[in-house]
Structure 1
Amino acid sequence: MAWTKWDSILAPHDVGGLNVSSLKAFNLALIHKWKWWYLTQIGDFWVSIIKAIHGNVFECTTSHSSSPWIAIVSCCSKTIVDSILLGNAIRMEVGNGIKVTFWHDLWCGNSCLSSGFNRLFHLDINKNDVIAIKRRNEE
């Protein structure tokens, strides 16, 4: 392990430092980057594994288990920047509807539809359908 003076870590790049101004801000940025990857790389294998283990954790569910992924989700749901809850500022873009789930993803309003329309959600047979499939079923 290499030891480095704290002053060197905080110093700007042009004087040979790492230009780290706040470890907390840097850590929060990296945690939110994981959320962004999770929401944008839907077909990736690691996203499928996370969903298989925890479900659509960012949007609706809460888990009482302890894992690094649950810690990331918890941190994202509590981060406040300039009096704005950062987790509420990120929305899914519906586009053609093939990547956004109707009930579980945050795409309309401030909460996912499964929590806002709980009774309808429990009546639906296909709870994990994307918007495009729901739209096609209506036609």
Structure 2
Amino acid sequence: MGVGVSKSDVENLAARLGYCLEIDKREIHEEVIGLEGTIDVIWGRLTLLKSVLSTLLVYFFSLFHTPSNVISLLKKLRRIFFWGGSSNDTKISWVKWEFILVSYGEGGLNIGSLKAKNWALVGKWWWHFRTESNTLWVRVIKSIYGRDGGLGQENLVSSAKGNSVWGNIIKIGKDSLNIGLNFNVLFDKKLGDGRDTFFWEDIWVGGMRLKDRFSRLFRLEVNQMASVKDRVTFIKASWEFLWQWSRNLTGRLVGELKDLGTLILGFTGLDHGEGKWICKVDNSEVYKTRVMTRKIEDLLLAGHCSNTSTMRNKLLPQKVGLFIWRVLKERIPVRV
């Protein structure tokens, strides 16, 4: 599980408490089978699909990187149910499923992608890891995976190996790179006065860690875990440096120190407030799962969007709107 306890021990304890750590495909299938035949009209199945079948596994989705075969099974079951089929009788799928998943504005029925929801929910742990840096669970993760929790770009591939819970959370960041989404750049930290940011270890200026860019200066630093506030502070209406070196700087080191000072003085992100994290998807100080899901869906379903939005009118019965949607898609069954 990633915390030094064998998986079998955790499973035995979970079984005693009545919990299951694995996604049971048969249980999912039985849930859908129980709904078969309960609603004969397509607009009723659409409503049930959004309210029930899309939320069955929210708990698992929020913690585990769902295997592709489970996603495929859920996709198949949802598609069969939407078109009125059953376990024994599969109906014709008149519209490709991906075209149905996209939002109303992109010509779909706004059902949503389960993979996108899974990635968005698990991605929230990336946000928690950054915003709850002083909590016990974050300190435990750091002790196992390093200061960046294995989420850093240089450690992403190696840390994503294995089947631990945190290892699966890391895998989301690795897999999302395949669609052009980098979780490492989705969150931006506003330093404030720098008390919560390490001067040498964190990436806060210049696009890389100062310990790597100015390695010789870093080796002479007395406190290598100093915060930004420990080294840069506001005194008498100007920013001042508070260096602490193990010996006097000479030669090339003086030049490097000058370059470091110039780099920092050109940085405009320091102020007198507290540091805070910003989710750059919507420039919010709060991680919004719905917004992140939509962002991921836009990338996953990019090739299935339509230039014509789905007509929506509160005064129009849902069955009429759905019929018009099928007409515009030219997917009405007719006899010639």
TM-score (norm. length: structure 1): 0.69
Alignment-derived partner of residue 12 in structure 1 = 50
Q: Find the residue that maps to 1:39 and give its secondary structure.
A: helix
CA separation of 1:47/1:61 partners in 2, compared to 1, >3 Å: closer, same or farther? Answer: farther
Shift of 1:119: 4.4
Structure 1, residues 74-130: CA drift from partner, whole Å, max 9, x if none?
532552497453322322221121212223333334443344444444443433222
* Structure 1 Cα separation of the partners of residues 230 and 221 of structure 2: 13
Q: Which structure has the larger Rg?
A: 2
* Structure 1 Cα separation of the partners of residues 115 and 31 of structure 2: 19
CA separation of 1:85/1:60 partners in 2, compared to 1, >3 Å: closer, same or farther? Answer: closer
Say if 1:59 and 1:106, in contact at 8 Å, map to a contact too. Answer: no
Alignment-derived partner of residue 108 in structure 1 = 205
Say if 2:195 and 2:229, in contact at 8 Å, map to a contact too. Answer: yes
Unpaired segments of 5 or more residues in structure 2? 1-23, 36-44, 56-110, 234-240, 244-336
* Structure 1 Cα separation of the partners of residues 153 and 177 of structure 2: 19
Greater displacement, 89-98 / 31-40: 89-98
Which of 43, 47, 65 is the matching residue for 2:134?
A: 43
Alignment-derived partner of residue 131 in structure 1 = 228
Q: Percent of aligned pairs with the same residue?
A: 26
Q: Which has the higher contact order (CA 8 A, sep 6+)?
A: 2
Say if 1:92 and 1:100, in contact at 8 Å, map to a contact too. Answer: no
Alignment-derived partner of residue 183 in structure 2 = 86
Amino acid at match of 1:101: F
1:73 counterpart = 2:170: yes
* Structure 2 Cα separation of the partners of residues 60 and 11 of structure 1: 37
Say if 2:198 and 2:228, in contact at 8 Å, map to a contact too. Answer: yes
Shift of 1:39: 0.3
CA separation of 1:87/1:11 partners in 2, compared to 1, >3 Å: closer, same or farther? Answer: same
CA separation of 1:75/1:82 partners in 2, compared to 1, >3 Å: closer, same or farther? Answer: closer
Q: Find the residue that maps to 2:231 and give its secondary structure.
A: helix
Q: Note the aligned Cα RMSD (angstroms).
A: 3.5
CA separation of 1:108/1:82 partners in 2, compared to 1, >3 Å: closer, same or farther? Answer: farther
Say if 1:103 and 1:113, in contact at 8 Å, map to a contact too. Answer: yes
TM-score (norm. length: structure 2): 0.34
* Structure 1 Cα separation of the partners of residues 171 and 201 of structure 2: 17
